[in-house]
Amino acid sequence: MPVETLKIDNARFILTLDPKRTIIQDGSIVIEGQTVTQVGKAKELANAGASRVIDAREMVVTPGFFDGHLHISYAHAVRGIFPDDVADRLTTVFQLQSVMTEEEEYHTSLLAIIELLKNGTTCFLDPGTTKFPDACMQAYEDSGCRIVLGEGVTDIPEPRKLPLYSTEEAISRMESTIKKYDHRLNGRIRAWAMPFSLSNCTAELLKGAKKLADQYGTGMTLHHTIGPKMRQGFLEQHGKLPTEYLEEIGALGPNVLLAHVMGLDDAEIDCLARSRTGVVMCPSNVLKQGGGIKENGKMPELLAKGVNVALGSDSANSSNHLDMVRSMNLAACLYKDARQNTKMVPAEQALEMGTLMGARALGLGDGLGSIEVGKKADLVLFDTRRPEWRSLFNPVNNLIYNADGRSVHTVIVDGRVVVEATRQSFVDEWSLMQKVHEIGQNLMARTGVSIPQRWPVL
């Protein structure tokens, strides 16, 4: 069979994110199969034909975005149920998720993937909370997304009833998951070791997870601390701060991704820098959950030390949006306020975190994260024929400070057009949304969860 060719023709701007961070005005991209084979000025590529041409006049093209920490499973079914004064959100979250069936999880995951793709996120990491990856495989296949998955495990009991096993069993389950899923769907799936968090995994389990990541050439992610209280508790229990503890047991490294990382001190930031450990921060979640950016957020300090920082949205029921453009906007704005310094996290650096650094954090930096010859064709086309994009002189500033995911027009993953003129064609979207609403009603009925709204509903 001849290889399919696709040309993105005459784009207003291409933000390549190549090593020089070249922005090509009036540019074209040629894709053969899954791979970018030419990138350059439109007039220089005028003779490059393709079986399909997308007219990208007035479009800004970026690499696909990476969401480095997203619990995708249950959230869409009961999105928005938690009022701001809810007492214990997470216990209810785990309670609802624990009763979810395969079919329900397939539908809720599919809706989340549609939201991600339509906002330009082409790859995400689910930190081990999908219960039925076999059922969800169909959603990953149909949608064409990329995903890093794994089985979240713990070996220390706690009240939230996370999946609990003996240390040995937890390690063997993670290993089976890696063996079963890694590299499936033409390489679009990667499987990692996913011990849930520092507070409910023993050192043996964390060491075992790191060993698996090394042995199988994959990665490992876990929830790191989310604030001073947790850090203090950890210090009292272990005599060390969390990052130093991880370094001591040999659980840091370039194939490790720590989530949240709020409240680090300078010594811990040095630990991360020298071990080349990646981190993923979830600005929208921190902001909504009152995480204390000013005191506990160390994004500029991490970046200054060369730590690879990815962005995540955590969950559709904690932040609650899955729009990486909004997350990049927050990353760029929050620290200007927190440090009262407009030089903090420039727009360009925020875009790097959503693309290049996101790809590196997920171990995919060699083939993804920028628009370069030889890299995979994961691209987002923004339609700038909208008021928020105009006037258009500096496309990076306009993307990060003016726009959001609603101007995403076309999305390409692995050379396949998965969103075209703002629409996807792999599922009847309205029927799916109705189905997911019904699933939410059923989940709440089965668990007896009923959370009144703050205002009376007649």
The binding site for Zn ion (CB under 5 A) comprises: 127
CB of 220 to Zn ion, least distance (A): 14
Q: Which is nearer to Zn ion, 264 or 380 (CB)?
A: 264
Measured from each CB, the residue nearest to Zn ion is 127
Q: Contact at 8 Å (CB) between 45 and 415?
A: no
CB of 223 to Zn ion, least distance (A): 5
Q: Which is nearer to Zn ion, 224 or 409 (CB)?
A: 224
Q: Which is nearer to Zn ion, 175 or 314 (CB)?
A: 314
CB of 196 to Zn ion, least distance (A): 9
Q: Which is nearer to Zn ion, 120 or 127 (CB)?
A: 127
CB of 71 to Zn ion, least distance (A): 5
Q: For residue 143, give the nearest of 120, 99, 168, 110 by alpha carbon.
A: 110
Q: Which is nearer to Zn ion, 15 or 148 (CB)?
A: 148
CB of 296 to Zn ion, least distance (A): 16
CB of 421 to Zn ion, least distance (A): 34
Q: Which is nearer to Zn ion, 258 or 400 (CB)?
A: 258
CB of 321 to Zn ion, least distance (A): 16
Q: Which is nearer to Zn ion, 127 or 242 (CB)?
A: 127
